[in-house]
């Protein structure tokens, strides 16, 4: 009986050791995949940043059908409001045109990433309905 118990214990120890080895191998494989994905992400981010920083020509944008050329990569709502002459006053709201979606109201402190073809429009901040 003691031999049987000894054999069972050795078998369990071997199973446990095999399990530990498999878990370590799977962990190494997982960590390798994670490292490769992170390296690919960092390469992609680096390429995008380089392209972004190297851009020399201005972005062509429109506000209320008037074209503007801007060199900044980001502009706040307040900076966009200052582009037209005279600037867009507080009595009007500024919206970014979102093709196929709901246009987005741009707050003065909100940063907007510039890109060619970006379009904005203004609308009265308060609409006073007339009497019927």
Sign of the four-CA dihedral 24, 26, 29, 34: negative
| Per-residue confidence band for 10, with pLDDT thresholds at 50, 70 and 90 | confident
Count the neighbouring beta carbons within 10 Å of the beta carbon of residue 82.
13
pTM above 0.85, yes or no: no
How does DSSP classify residue 58?
P
Please check the confidence at residue 55 and state whether its pLDDT lies above 70: no
Per-residue pLDDT band for 1 (boundaries 50, 70, 90) equals low
What is the rounded average pLDDT of the residues 9-34?
Answer: 93
Residue 61 to residue 97: CA distance in whole angstroms: 11
Rounded distance, CA 125 to CA 23, Å?
62
Helix extents (H) in the chain: 2-54, 77-82
Phi, psi (degrees; rounded to nearest 5) at 53: -75, -30
């Amino acid at each position: 009986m003691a031999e049987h118990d000894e054999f069972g214990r050795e078998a369990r120890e071997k199973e446990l050791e095999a399990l530990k080895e498999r878990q370590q191998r799977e962990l190494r494989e997982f960590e390798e995949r994670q490292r490769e994905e992170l390296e690919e992400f960092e390469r992609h981010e680096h390429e995008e940043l380089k392209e972004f920083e190297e851009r020399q020509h201005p972005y062509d944008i429109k506000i209320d059908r008037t074209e503007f050329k801007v060199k900044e990569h980001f502009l706040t709502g307040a900076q966009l409001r200052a582009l037209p002459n005279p600037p867009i006053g507080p009595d009007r709201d500024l919206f970014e045109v979102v093709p196929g979606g709901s246009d987005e109201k741009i707050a003065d402190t909100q940063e907007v990433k510039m890109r060619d073809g970006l379009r904005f429009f203004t609308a009265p901040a308060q609409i006073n309905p007339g009497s019927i």
